[in-house]
Amino acid sequence: MMLPAIILLPLLAGLVAWLAGRWSATAPRWIALAGTAVPLALTATFWGRPAEGRWIAAFGFDWIPAAGISFFLALDGLSLLLVLLTFFLGVLAVGVAWRQTDHRPGFFFFNLLWILSGTAGVFLALDLFLFFFFWELMVLPMYFVIGIWGHEHRTRAAIKFFLFTQAGGFILLLAILGLHFSHAAETGLHTFLYEDLLGGALPAGTAWWLMLGFFFAFAVKLPAFPFHTWLPDAHTEAPTAGSLILAGILLKTGGYGLLRFVVPLFPEAAAAFAPVALVLGAVGILYGAKLAFAQSDLKRLVAYTSVSHMGFVVVGVFAWNTWALQGVVVTMICHGLSTGALFILAGSLQERLHTRDLGRMGGFQVLAPRMTAFALFFAMASLGLPGLGNFVGEFLILLGGFQISIPVTVAAALGLVGATVYSLWIIQRAFHGTPAKGATLADVNFREAAILGALVLGLLGLGLYPRPVLDAAEPAVRWLEADAARPVPVVLAVEPPPHPPLP
């Protein structure tokens, strides 16, 4: 029952926070803190548990038997790491919003907690219909977070976010239904269960189009080039806690979908599509880095860095070997920590200065030395400095990618040069130089320092000793590789092989 509790507790806490907001401005904060900390603690109890077969834990029952729909949740090392990341960043997001959400705080924390619940459901659901249910559960609360508590162009950004993600969700639903009915036509079994659908006997053309449907939905959420255009607007206009959740957690659902579903369910189609995906990933790395350097809006600059970093995820997934897949897991975690921290700093500067324009900043190392030290650390993490977590993930991806395509790997490595440029650009424009005459800037307070310090420890730990995370992910990675390496059914061939001669 612990797996359903991890999902249900934030849902219930969100409802209580919304009701409590009608009579208290402070109660919703504490309820939201409990609604994220308790699921984090419950998830942490699974750390180090041996797996029984494939899963560390599983829970399920028939939900709609007539349609082949089950309520099935399962946890492996990959899910465990991402659910821990979800609620860890959720606790920090509550801390970020502690003093920044005076308008309708109950409804704000309701939406925040429901986003976290939906995200945890995505990482745990192993019935594709249930997975789609949680996939959609994330969208509307984030729409409200951007549209109600965002900045000056929040309505346009929220609508753009909603339209892009709903388009991806609609294609995903069609692909799931197509997979369900195609599998039923071949086997006579109506099911949405992940393990039942693995290794299914699908015609090559059908598998190709279904794989593209899944890929499109996950590429939009990741986002991968060229499906990324909603992201800069959403990040720029979202409140700081919303940007933290969006960058740190929601984008990871796209990477998780590529890992869990696209390649294992459609190994032959994914292998045929891999050259295109690898090129898209490499282009996204370089394109995102170039556009990041061209920005004068600090939050928009950080948003484009996400496009660049998520290009590494695409390259790693479609390189599809142990090194690359381990690198994808580490990169997703470290991107959530480092980019989330940069958004926290950008939000702190906007709150103090009432601007995101880098042209109106400068000299902050004199005015706010602690903020400058944090900014320098996270900029170094973003550019992939050895000793910090981002380096480990990106190095493993490049190592795995080198075995598949040297040109793509070289192009991806050039993205690290771009990361160096835009990371140092942030430090030079905002923190170096001489402050304007009469300028003042409050340094980070204790609450902000505690939040940023937790992110520092996470990146240092993953950079200096990533073995616990790699060990936790390794069994899941091995299972995914085994799923994609299953023998190809005969019906996948364009022409069936001839029957052996009769004796």
| DSSP string across 386-453 | TTSHHHHHHHHHHHHHHTT-HHHHHHHHHHHHHHHHHHHHHHHHHTSS-PPTT---PPP-HHHHHHHH
Residue bearing tokens 């493993």: 396
- How many other CB atoms sit within 10 Å of the CB of residue 225? 23
Task: Calculate what percentage of the chain has a pLDDT beyond 70.
Answer: 96
Reported as a pLDDT band with limits 50, 70 and 90, residue 500 is: very low
Residue 325 has pLDDT above 80, yes or no: yes
Q: Does the pLDDT value for residue 68 go beyond 70?
A: yes
Question: Which helix or strand (DSSP H or E) is residue 74 part of?
Answer: strand 69-75
pLDDT for 502 beyond 90? no
- Written as six digits, the tokens of 176 are 């799931």
Q: What CA–CA distance (Å, rounded) separates 156 from 95? A: 27
For residue 193, pLDDT over 60 is answered with yes
Evaluate the CA torsion angle 381, 383, 385, 390 in order and state its sign.
Answer: positive
CA distance 488 to 476: 21
Tokens of 13: 């806490």
**Count of C-beta atoms within a 10 Å radius of residue 499:** 6
User: Is the Cβ–Cβ distance between 83 and 123 less than 8 Å?
Assistant: yes
**CB-based contact 91:37 (threshold 8 Å):** yes
Handedness of CA 418, 367, 96, 33 (dihedral sign): positive
**Mean pLDDT, to the nearest integer, of 261-272?**
92
Model confidence at 498, pLDDT cuts 50, 70, 90, reads very low
The arithmetic mean of pLDDT across residues 397-404, rounded, is 92
CA-to-CA distance for 371 and 349, rounded, in angstroms? Answer: 9
| In contact, 79 and 7? CB cutoff 8 Å | no
Q: Is the pLDDT of residue 79 over 90?
A: yes
Give residues with Cβ within 8 angstroms of 292, minimum separation 6. 301, 302, 304, 305, 307, 308, 418, 422
Question: For residue 491, what pLDDT band results from cuts at 50, 70 and 90?
Answer: very low
Where do we find the tokens 């040297």? Answer: 406
What is the token pair recorded at 443? Answer: 């340094």
Q: Which of 147-151, 156-160, 330-334, 431-435 has the lowest mean pLDDT?
A: 431-435
Assign 3-class secondary structure to 217-278: HHHHHCCCCCCCCHHHHHHHHCCHHHHHHHHHHHHHHHHHHHHHHHHHHCHHHHHHHHHHHH
Q: In degrees, to the nearest 5, what angle opens at C-alpha 425 toward C-alphas 423 and 428?
A: 115
373-397 pLDDT, tens digit per residue, is 999 999 999 988 999 999 999 999 9
Percent of the chain with pLDDT over 90: 63
Label residue 202 by pLDDT band (50, 70, 90).
confident
* Phi, psi (rounded to 5 degrees) for 64: -130, 80
Residue 193's DSSP bridge partners are 127
* Beta-bridge partners for 58: 74
Query: CB–CB of 330/462 below 8 Å?
Result: yes
Q: CA geometry: angle at 241 spanning 238 and 246, to 5°?
A: 65
A 10 A CB-CB count for 437 gives 5
Length of the chain: 503
| pLDDT exceeds 70 at position 40 | yes
Tens-place pLDDT, residues 223-253: 888 888 898 899 888 999 999 999 999 999 9
For residue 496, pLDDT over 70 is answered with no
Give the integer Cα–Cα distance in Å for 466 and 444. 29
The rounded mean pLDDT for the chain is 89
Looking at residue 488, the DSSP 8-state letter turns out to be P
What pLDDT was estimated at residue 426? 84
Reduced to 3 states (helix: H, G, I; strand: E, B; else coil), residue 52 is: strand
125 touches 132 (CB < 8 A) = no
Residue 388: exposure state from Cβ atoms within 10 A (0-12, 13-18, ≥19)? buried
Residue 177 and residue 210 in contact, taking contact as beta carbons nearer than 8 Å:
no
Separation CA 323–CA 391 (nearest Å): 14
Q: What is the C-alpha radius of gyration for the chain, rounded to an integer number of angstroms? A: 23
Residue 354 DSSP class: S
According to the 3-state scheme, what is the secondary structure of 162-185? HHHHHHHHHHHHHHHHHHHHHHHH
* Residue 44 predicted with pLDDT over 60: yes
Q: Are 421 and 339 in contact (CB under 8 A)?
A: no
- Looking only at Cα atoms, what is the longest distance across the chain? 97
Could you give the CA distance from residue 313 to residue 319 in angstroms, rounded to a whole number?
A: 10
Could you tell me the pLDDT band of residue 366, with boundaries at 50, 70 and 90?
confident
Give, for 288, the enclosing helix (H) or strand (E): helix 267-293
Over the range 444-479, which residues count as b (16 or more CB within 10 Å of their CB) and which as e? beeebeebbebbbebbeebbeebeebbebbbbbbeb
